[in-house]
Amino acid sequence: MAFIAALGLLMAGICPAVLCDGTLGRDTLSHEDHGKGRQLHSLTLASSNTDFALSLYKKLALRNPDKNVVFSPLSISAALTILSLGAKDSTMEEILEGLKFNLTEITEEEIHQGFGHLLQRLSQPEDQVEINTGSALFIDKEQPILSEFQEKTRALYQAEAFIADFKQPNEAKKLINDYVSNQTQGKIAELFSDLEERTSMVLVNYLLFKGKWKVPFNPNDTFESEFYLDEKRSVKVPMMKIKGITTPYVRDEELSCSVLELKYTGNASALFILPDQGKMQQVESSLQPETLKKWKDSLIPRIINDLRMPKFSISTDYSLKEVLPELGIKKVFSQQADLSRITGTKDLYVSQVVHKAVLDVDETGTEATAATGVATVIRRQPRTLNFNRPFMVVITDMDSQSILFVAKITNPK
C-alpha cells in the first residue's frame, strides 16, 4: 500500500522589487534547541495537526461531493509552516491559526522546532515502513532572498534550495516537476501543468509512504466483485479477501459505522471507516478529533471472519488557493500579503497552491503467504466486513500520532 503526495506553493511578485517600498523584516527566531517541553510540544503539534486534517477534509469533501478525496494534511501543513517563516504580523498569524495552532499556547518558535523535529524523525530511514518527506525552494535567479530565510528553512526543515530562471517558464517548470517526480518515485510526474507569470519563487513539499500490511492479503484470493457507488449504481472491482483475521475493531451504533484498524509492519496504522449504506454524510459531519479519539480508545481486537476490501489506485489534484481561505488563511493570497521575511520587502504573495496525491491499495505485506488461521474459529454470529461501498481511510504514524494521509473512496475504479 502506498500513499504519495506533493504540494507546490507558488509565489509571484506584486511589482518589480526595485519599485516596491518595504522594510526589512526583523528576526525574532533563534534555532536553539530546547529539549525540555519537547514532549508537550509534540502532543500540541499532533492535536493541532489532527484538527487541521479533519477541518480540511470537510472542506474538500464538501467541495467535491461524491468524489474520491486523497490528501496529505501533514505535507500541506509542513509547507505552510515553512511559508510562515517568511511571513509577518497578521499574514503569519493567519497561516498558523489556520493550521489550528493556538498562539497563546504555543509560540512560533516552538511550532517550528516541533515541526522540524517531527519531519526529520519521519524521514529517518527505517526498514519497516518507508516514509520519505522533504521540502525544496526554487528561487528565481533575480529574486533577492534574505539569507536568514534560506538558513532557517535549511536548519529547521532541511529544505534544499535551487536557483531557477522563471523568465524561461518551461525550463523552470521542468526543473521543479523533475525534482518532484524523482522524489516521489515517478508517481507525481507533473506537479505543475503551468507556472503563472511573474512567478519568482516556488516552495515544494512531498511525502511518500509505503506500508506493508502486517497481515497481507493473498493475491490468489482476490476476485472480481461489485462496489456499490450508491443504492442503484455499482462498478466491478478487484476485491481482496482475508478469512479469519484478528484486528482492532469497533462498531459505532450512534454514527452508524464500523471502524477497523489494519496495522502495517513498523509504527503506522490505517483506520478504515465504513459508514452504513447512505450514512457517509452523517459520519463526515461528525468527524472531529474527539470522534477519532473515541474510536481509537474503543478499538478492541476482534476476529473478522470475512474481510473484503477493494484493490485500487486513485489520485487527486487540488488547487488549495480556493480552500485555504475558508480556514482563515487569506491575506497571503492577496496584495496585502506580508512575506517580507523572505525578501525584505512586501513584494510577494502566493498565487497558486497545488496539491497532488496518489493512493495505491494492494495485497502487499511482509510475508509471502497470509499468516492467518483460515476460519478456524466458528462463531455463532460470524463477523464480516465488506468494504463494497464508500469508505474512509486515515493513515497515522503512531509514534508521533500524526495523520499522514486522509482519503475517502467513493469509486475505486
Q: Is 367 in the site for ligand NAG (CB under 6 A)?
A: no
- Residue 10 neighbours by CB under 8 Å, 6+ apart: 192, 195, 196, 199, 201, 202, 203, 350, 351, 352, 353, 354
Q: Is 365 in the site for ligand NAG (CB under 6 A)?
A: no
Residue of the chain from 369, 378, 379, 381 that contacts ligand NAG (CB under 6 A) = 369
Helix (H) or strand (E) holding 268: strand 268-275
- Least Cβ distance, residue 408 to ligand NAG (angstroms): 27
CA distance 33 to 384: 50
Q: Is 244 in the site for ligand NAG (CB under 6 A)?
A: no
Residue of the chain from 267, 288, 386, 411 that contacts ligand NAG (CB under 6 A) = 267
Nearer to ligand NAG, 347 or 397 (CB): 397
Residue of the chain from 128, 285, 286, 298 that contacts ligand NAG (CB under 6 A) = 128
- Least Cβ distance, residue 64 to ligand NAG (angstroms): 28
CA distance 262 to 282: 23
Residue of the chain from 28, 120, 220, 319 that contacts ligand NAG (CB under 6 A) = 220
Nearer to ligand NAG, 105 or 165 (CB): 105
Stretch in the footprint of ligand NAG (CB under 6 A) among 99-107, 130-138, 152-160, 388-396? 99-107
CA distance 194 to 171: 11
Residue of the chain from 104, 170, 193, 335 that contacts ligand NAG (CB under 6 A) = 104
Residue 264 DSSP label: B
Q: Is 105 in the site for ligand NAG (CB under 6 A)?
A: yes
CA distance 49 to 93: 16
- Least Cβ distance, residue 282 to ligand NAG (angstroms): 26
Q: Is 327 helix (H, G, I), strand (E, B) or coil?
A: helix
Binders of ligand NAG: how many residues, by CB under 6 A? 14
Please, where are the H alpha helices in 6-142?
Answer: 38-63, 73-84, 89-98, 108-122
- Least Cβ distance, residue 363 to ligand NAG (angstroms): 9
- Least Cβ distance, residue 386 to ligand NAG (angstroms): 22
- Do 375 and 304 meet the contact criterion of CB atoms below 8 Å apart? no
Q: Is 376 in the site for ligand NAG (CB under 6 A)?
A: no
Q: Is 120 in the site for ligand NAG (CB under 6 A)?
A: no
CA atoms 400, 404, 406, 412: torsion sign: negative
- Least Cβ distance, residue 274 to ligand NAG (angstroms): 26
Q: Is 185 in the site for ligand NAG (CB under 6 A)?
A: no
Write out the binding residues for ligand NAG, residues 393-412 only, by CB under 6 A: 399
Nearest CA to 69 out of 85, 54, 57 is that of 57
Locate 61 and state its grid cell.
469533501
Q: Is 218 in the site for ligand NAG (CB under 6 A)?
A: yes
CA distance 120 to 30: 18
Q: Is 190 helix (H, G, I), strand (E, B) or coil?
A: coil
Q: Is 266 in the site for ligand NAG (CB under 6 A)?
A: yes
Q: Is 234 in the site for ligand NAG (CB under 6 A)?
A: no
Residue of the chain from 23, 28, 102, 319 that contacts ligand NAG (CB under 6 A) = 102
Residue of the chain from 300, 368, 374, 378 that contacts ligand NAG (CB under 6 A) = 368
Nearest CA to 393 out of 357, 364, 353, 342 is that of 357
Nearest CA to 199 out of 178, 216, 218, 175 is that of 175
- Least Cβ distance, residue 136 to ligand NAG (angstroms): 11
Locate 291 and state its grid cell.
470522534
Nearer to ligand NAG, 368 or 374 (CB): 368
- Least Cβ distance, residue 161 to ligand NAG (angstroms): 15
Nearer to ligand NAG, 51 or 252 (CB): 51
Helix (H) or strand (E) holding 403: strand 402-409
- Please report, as a single letter, which amino acid is at residue 131: I
- Least Cβ distance, residue 119 to ligand NAG (angstroms): 16
Please, where are the H alpha helices in 99-165?
Answer: 108-122, 147-157
Helix (H) or strand (E) holding 407: strand 402-409
| Integer angstrom CA distances of residue 240 from 223, 248, 285 | 7, 19, 29
Nearer to ligand NAG, 263 or 383 (CB): 263
Note the residues at the interface with ligand NAG (CB under 6 A): 102, 104-105, 126, 128, 178, 182, 218, 220, 266-267, 368-369, 399
